[in-house]
Amino acid sequence: MNFLKTAGTVVKSTFTSSGLEKPEYEVVAKHDGYEERHYAASKWVSTKSKGMKLEDASRKSFFKLFDYIQGKNAKEQKIDMTAPVATLIEPGAGPNCESTFTMSFFVPPSNSTDTPEPTNPDLFLQTWPAQTFFVRQFGGFTSDEKWLEHAKSLGECLTGKEKFHEQFYYTAGYDSPFKLFGRTNEVWFLKKEEEQAKE
């Protein structure tokens, strides 16, 4: 919660819980406990860090990305805040090993063809291909424990039913830290395409 409060102080006027551009997707199927979504190709600005806790990694990563959209880029151009803030989590090999966290802001379509290059060497631009995710949605404020709980629940729902990449998952947060009710959070597992599943 400390990180959320700190972040909220900075982004109150920019990051609201409604009216933000989001990646384009279509719902392929709805199931008990999750839905399958196909996302169009999209561009993101990202930064990678290592650590034991998502909240600690998020604190540093968020402000690097926020500075970028506020104009600390090669064109000194401001870019609209979008949603969600997505974080790829690659868990460490053991309980006492650091995980790798890649936090990303979605680049709005109006900036996707001529996206300003980051000036911070810790940031980089990514183009995500069209891909399919299995998504579990939940409300409330989050914590490392809650993210992990919902990722495990989603993994249990998928096991034996779907082909998915089990070695990593994504968290996705949609709301301003000021929004107290009706919050939207998601965990995503990437679907294995048929040709990948056969490898």
CATH number for 114: 3.20.80.10
Q: Of 193, 198, 195, 174, which is closest to residue 36 (Cα–Cα)?
A: 193
Query: Residue 26: inside a domain, yes or no?
Result: no
Does 64 fall in a domain?
Answer: yes
Residue 4: its H or E element? helix 2-11
Total domain count for the chain?
1
Domain annotation covers residue 98: yes
Domain contains 17: no
- pLDDT over threshold 60, residue 162: yes
pLDDT for residue 198: 35
Q: Give me the pLDDT at residue 194, please.
A: 63
DSSP-derived letter for residue 123 is E
CA proximity to 163, closest of 193, 136, 187: 193
CB 133 within 8 A of CB 189: yes
Q: Confirm whether 127 is domain-assigned.
A: yes
> What pLDDT shows up at residue 118?
98
The arithmetic mean of pLDDT across residues 75-83, rounded, is: 96
| Residues of the domain holding 115 | 2-8+35-70+78-197
Looking at the domain assignment, is residue 21 inside a domain? no
Is residue 28 included in any domain, yes or no? no
